[in-house]
Amino acid sequence: MPVNADFQGRVYPPTETYRVSAAKIREFAEAVGSSDPVHVDAEVARARGYADVIAPPTFAVLIAQQCDAQLISDPEAGIDFSRVVHGEQRFTHHRPLTAGDAVVGTLHVDAVREAGGHAMVTTRTELATETGEAVCTATSTIVIRGDES
């Protein structure tokens, strides 16, 4: 099934607010094995100058993938989720995601292309607080495997 190249360049409206919680940060840090107490101990975090516990460097993917779902779940995009493999991921942190942040994501479809029988889609999610402070840029490339693989 071909991926719809017309989606390249599309920008989605900002998502609903995602509220970053200390509980989710702890759960995520435990799942990736990040032992830095800055994820779980607000006093440690404040001593280092943060407002509250902060998320591990890849936590933003949780919010970014919710933004990506706008594209992936759109039947017109032609993306078969069962054939999706993650190709690349990048984060640029303007500051750490912090418990208490109220964040919205704006999804940009930067590229849609075919390569070697597979389709590749690059998306970029700009995460910012509700008040417009840039927090993180998350860029992802997914590969939709062709039928013959």
Partner 1 sequence: MSTQPTTSAPATVRAFSDVSVGDALPSITVHVDRARLVQYAGASLDRNRIHWDEPFAKKVGLPDVIAHGMFTMGSAVTLVTDWVGDAGRVVEYGVRFTKPVVVPYETGADIEVSGIVKAADPETKRVTVELTATADGSKVLGRALAVARLD
Give the interface with partner 1 as residue ranges (CB under 8 A).
24, 27-41, 44, 48, 50, 54, 56-58, 61-62, 65-66, 81-93, 96, 139, 145, 149
- Picking from 101, 104, 105, the residue whose alpha carbon sits closest to that of residue 125 is 105
Which is closer to partner 1, CB of 12 or CB of 28?
A: 28
Shortest spacing between CB 129 and partner 1, in angstroms? 16
Label residue 85 exposed, middle or buried (CB < 10 Å: 0-12, 13-18, 19+).
Answer: exposed
Shortest spacing between CB 139 and partner 1, in angstroms? 8
Which is closer to partner 1, CB of 39 or CB of 123?
A: 39
Q: How many helices (H) and strands (E) does the chain have?
A: 3, 5
Shortest spacing between CB 74 and partner 1, in angstroms? 17
Shortest spacing between CB 101 and partner 1, in angstroms? 13
Q: Where are the beta strands (DSSP E) in the chain?
A: 18-19, 84-93, 102-115, 118-129, 134-144
DSSP state of 38: G
Which is closer to partner 1, CB of 76 or CB of 148?
A: 148
Shortest spacing between CB 6 and partner 1, in angstroms? 25
SS (H, E, C) 17-34: CEECCHHHHHHHHHHHCC
Which is closer to partner 1, CB of 6 or CB of 147?
A: 147
Which is closer to partner 1, CB of 89 or CB of 129?
A: 89
